Amino acid sequence: MVSRKRRDAEADGRAARVHSRLAEARQSRGVAAVALARVAGVTRQTIYAIEAGTYVPNTAIALKLARALEMPVEDLFQLDVEPPAPRLVAARLIGGEECCRGTPVQLCKVGEKWVGVPAVAAPWQLPPADAVLADPARGLVQRLAEDNREPRLLVAGCDPAVSVLSRHLQRASVQLVAAAVNSSVAIELLRERLVHVAGTHLRADPGPAAGPFRGAAVFVFAVWEEGIVTARGNPKRLRDAAGLARRGVRLVNRESGSGARQLLDRALAAAGIDSGRIGGYDEPPAAGHLSAAWRVYSGLADCCIATRSAARAFGLDFVPLESNRYDLVLRSESLQIAAVERLFETLAQTAVRRELETLCGYDTRETGRRLL
């Protein structure tokens, strides 16, 4: 029989977890992850996993890390015996106007603020979430677990390829929380310090897509094609914006402030077509490229303005209208955040660019280049 003393020890071991302060110590001393990994005899990914708390180093590695950073090992790693119970926290909700109690939410801390992004369910599975909305009026959410120590980045924007970036960031022990909003809203959220990164494609000229924004840093993500997404086989024989005004053609529009809506309005103006002639122009819009393409795929509309990647996702036809650059905009001080550093390290990887090119049809020759 197992002794009571042994059972108690095993229970304590299951309840305890190691809290790593390695990231804080490394950054305060200005030591790069790759340099620390070399000293400890491990990979850079292992250093990131230790910092995230998903990997507990053995004694030898812990001692090497402590010696390299010139600090006691007990200052690097501490034992949390009793994790605090989940609790209610106040969070600023992005796009949560119509959410109700019990809505699943993903949480991310931006500066000192908790920000919640309602998680959207797919027809075949529940969405990933770490909290539920407890009080919509007061913005209170009930956390499902205590602090997840894995670094998180909150990225706002409309790029369908954010899921590609998210998968690759997970390998660097960073969780990406995506807020699906249009470019105008993304920039405004960045101004309000509610997101780490804003994605935007509001301008087609060579200047930064964010326009004048004091203290902003702008980087190229990719160049994509936007155009008319139609049902497979293009049964309405659409070739340009003028075809949208034909009788029997129904468009699903995008919301005001989106880059796709601006492209549509420019194309209609160039063709001398009043928007009132476009079937569906003033009906409730779709929020996002994929959402618009899904309506076409489902037969709810004949066409929409979206990216080639959205058309590819549903096997739809695509008529290109314009190539646009999609930029990532951050506050300059955010460039010092470890998770942001890993973001740009990830963007530099050949595998990421190849997937963006092959899966999404993006041009990644300038990906990662700083514009501002």
DSSP-based three-state secondary structure for 286: strand
Alpha carbon dihedral 71, 336, 355, 264, in 10-degree steps, equals 160
Those residues whose C-beta lies under 8 Å from the C-beta of residue 74, and which sit 6 or more positions away, are none
Bridge partners of 327? 200, 220
pLDDT for 217 equals 94
Answer yes or no: are the C-beta atoms of 78 and 21 closer than 8 Å. Answer: yes
Q: Could you tell me the two tokens for 358?
A: 């092959």
Strand ranges for the chain from DSSP E:
17-20, 77-80, 88-90, 92-93, 104-110, 113-118, 131-135, 140-143, 152-157, 175-180, 197-200, 216-230, 251-252, 303-307, 317-331
pLDDT of residue 52: 85
Burial class of 247 by CB neighbour count within 10 A (0 to 12, 13 to 18, 19+): exposed
Can you give the pLDDT at residue 238? Answer: 97
Look up residue 345 and give its two tokens: 């390290």
Q: Which residues pair with 227 in a beta bridge?
A: 306, 320
Give the whole-angstrom CA distance, residue 143 versus residue 88: 6
CB 241 within 8 A of CB 263: no
According to the model, what pLDDT value does residue 208 have?
Answer: 47
Q: What are the percentages of helix, strand and coil residues in the chain, rounded to 5?
A: 35, 25, 40
| Contact by Cβ (8 Å): 64, 40 | yes
How far apart CA 150 and CA 167 sit, in angstroms, is 14
Residue located via tokens 């963007």: 347
Diameter of the chain by CA atoms?
87
Q: Read off the pTM.
A: 0.74
Closest CA to 353 of 372, 371, 369: 369
304 Cα distance to chain centroid: 24
Q: How many helices (H) and strands (E) does the chain have?
A: 13, 15
pLDDT by residue for the chain (372 residues), tens digit each? 444 444 444 444 444 578 888 988 898 888 889 999 998 999 988 999 898 888 889 999 999 999 999 999 988 888 765 555 567 889 999 976 678 888 999 999 999 999 999 987 665 667 788 899 998 888 899 998 766 678 999 999 999 899 899 999 999 999 999 999 999 999 999 999 999 999 998 754 434 444 546 789 999 999 999 999 999 999 999 999 999 999 999 999 999 889 999 999 999 999 999 999 999 999 999 989 999 999 999 999 999 999 999 999 999 999 999 999 999 999 999 999 999 999 999 999 999 999 999 999 999 999 999 998
Nearest to 84 by CA among 134, 147, 133: 147
> What are the residues whose beta carbons fall under 8 Å from the beta carbon of 75, sequence distance 6 or more?
21, 25, 66
User: What would the DSSP string read from start to end of 102-130?
Assistant: T-EEEEEEETTEEEEEEPPPBTTBPPP-S
Per-residue pLDDT, 12 = 43
Q: Which helix (H) or strand (E) holds 39?
A: helix 33-40
Find the angle CA(265)-CA(258)-CA(280) to the nearest 5 degrees: 55
